[in-house]
Structure 1
């Protein structure tokens, strides 16, 4: 199971990086097009890639300790209250992220059912870029659940062990 989850986080991080590369390619296409006298409107595409990259990178960055955390209080606690507080935070985060993922999935599904498209020259069905948001939220939810289980099993959480190395 550990191999599968780590692979899922790496895949999500790799997809986030590929969407960042797509933003760079769209900017390059706009620059080259402008030099050749063509108008290439890739602003909407770049925005969709940015959203996908942001959400798909959440789970990977959490597992590698890259999220901003304020540890002033928790670092001053003894081990048992520290573990309780980390379990509480992971549980609350899991509940909120589960709800958010569910609502985002419903929102994306409704965009698909009602055939919503983006405004502008490139009329892209909105469910396509929104799917990246839903997948990214789902991977982050799994990562938080992974850490919650780790805390309950008295293992070091990923975001702490990532800073130790």
Structure 2
């Protein structure tokens, strides 16, 4: 069980690191665009790539953010429920898992069809769309795994596994 926990936490951390790297790439792209404008050069496709990396930064970091308690929760309502809190959390994780699985399925399907139809972006970059869509699909799958992970932990251990220190600091 400890090996699986370590693997899952490593996956969430890898997603968070890739999301953070995407933000650094956005910074670099913005600086390149500024330098290109100041020097009178044309840098085609940079705004499109910045958009791709913006989506990548969000989706890849979702699972890590969930694991660290950075997602919005209704702490006051949960605290007011007392002993019934576990049932509301199970319900929430079940709904969240279902939605994440649903979204993952369609994100993977979008990547598949974009690649199969050779769909390209309509900007100056003419990038095959399956490439930037792939990070969205990977991030959605990671989130689905994280939601299911926390749901199963909550059902079998009574604890969801989200960083409790982060939850308590957000509730204040």
1:40 partnered with 2:43: yes
Q: Which runs of 4+ in 1 moved over 6 A?
A: none
Q: TM-score, normalised by structure 2?
A: 0.90
Alignment of 1:30 onto 2:33: yes
Is residue 158 of structure 1 aligned with residue 161 of structure 2?
A: yes
| Unaligned stretches of 5+ residues in structure 1 | none
- Root-mean-square deviation (CA), in Å? 1.4
Contact 1:109/1:127 (CA < 8 Å) preserved in 2? yes
Matched, 1:63 2:76: no
The answer to whether the Cα contact below 8 Å between 1:66 and 1:159 also exists between their aligned partners in 2 is no
- How many angstroms apart in 2 are the aligned matches of 1:163 and 1:103? 31
Matched, 1:125 2:128: yes
Map 1:11-160 to 2 at 5 A: 11-41=14-44, 42-79=46-83, 81-159=84-162
Unaligned runs of 5+ in 2: none
The CA deviation at 1:154 is: 2.6
Task: Give, in angstroms, the shift of residue 164 of structure 1.
Answer: 4.2
**Conserved 8 A contact 2:86-2:158:** no
TM-score by length of 1: 0.94
C-alpha deviation, 1:159, in angstroms? 3.2
